[in-house]
Amino acid sequence: MLPDNLKNATVVLVDDTPANLRLLESSMRAFGLRNIRAFSDSAESLAWLQSNPWDLLVLDLDMPAPNGFDILQALAVRDRSAAPIIIASALSRPEDRRKGLALGANDYICKPLDLPELLLRVRNNLELSAANHFLRLERNQLEQAVHERTAQLRSSYQSIIGILSRAAGYKENETERHVMRIGEYAALMARAIGLTEEQCEHMRLAMPMHDIGKIGIPEAILQKSGPFTSEEREIMKHHARIGHHIMSDSMGTPLSRLAAEIALYHHEHWDGNGYPQGLKGEEIPLSGRIAAICDVYDALRSARPYKTAWSAEETLVYFRERSGTHFDPDLVHVFERIFDQLENIQNSLVDETPKSLDELAKMAGSPISDILNEHRL
């Protein structure tokens, strides 16, 4: 008899001889099987097999079209261990047996049938099918657990990024919306140059950490409303290496490594006149080149206590003038192409009116070199 875990398996019997079909079905039921589908019409059986789940097929070969070989060919793409097929046929020539097995049958038994032998083969193949279903269930459960754990880790990492980004932003009076915008810009740029969705999402999550190193810069410098002195500017430049050190020593994930890369390279210039390493052209990682554009774009288009927001037209002119010097010229072309989408993000996440309006008005007339002095740049 069958073990209880196999009794509800779906077994399909196909034989165009009604007497053979009745014998097979009664033997299977006596063996303990409860869910049997029997077909004397081979075309009807094939249609059912192709549209329903099943665990085992016992198949005759010598039938009107479609014959057993035709059915095997039609089912060739199935998972053979999940849905095994036993050929039960009067065709006993070696070439018929080889052909049947080559077309995907798992087993072959010749008529006249030795029913005890057939039932043993049925049990063995059902055990194979049951083992496959069990392994598939275990794999799906494991994949679901991994997916849930990955989602938890991603959520935790996003929370950490948010906390650290806000911590750095509060030191320099940056806004939470600035942190959100900068990530959305980076994802949009990444998508526009054909990066994968996963890479775009990583850019969105990592980009807000670009200025995390400002946590290590004295507040007297960060909070200064006017332009920096040469000494203050050199101190400010340290934030790139500080940010890289912070993120390199964090979780060791691909996301944290990307954040560390962005923190280190987002002030490098295409012509080699940036910092901290003075890299040129494609020596600068792509993430750093994207970050440079996103960071400066948001700095120009946002009002701060020390500057008014630039217009869209002024911002475009600024980037065009610095294409090939400050910025990667290919990325500037992409920036211009998606500029309206960047503007939509900027407008949808606009900052509230900045503090120190008197100071803002005082700064509005300052020359470009002072206003852009370390963003103030």
Annotated catalytic residue, options 7, 111, 214, 237: 214
Tell me which DSSP letter residue 377 carries: -
Is 214 in the active site?
yes
Amino acid letter at 40? S
The burial of 185, by beta-carbon neighbours within 10 Å (0-12 exposed, 13-18 middle, 19 or more buried), is given as: buried
Distance separating alpha carbons of residues 12 and 35, to the nearest angstrom:
9
Q: Which residues pair with 11 in a beta bridge?
A: 36, 56
Distance separating alpha carbons of residues 92 and 73, to the nearest angstrom:
19
Alpha-carbon torsion, ordered 255, 191, 180, 323, to 10 deg:
100
* Closest to 44 measured CA to CA, from 20, 73, 15, 17: 15
Other C-beta atoms closer than 10 Å to the C-beta of 104 total 17
* Closest to 33 measured CA to CA, from 57, 58, 59, 9: 9
Catalytic amino acids?
Answer: 214
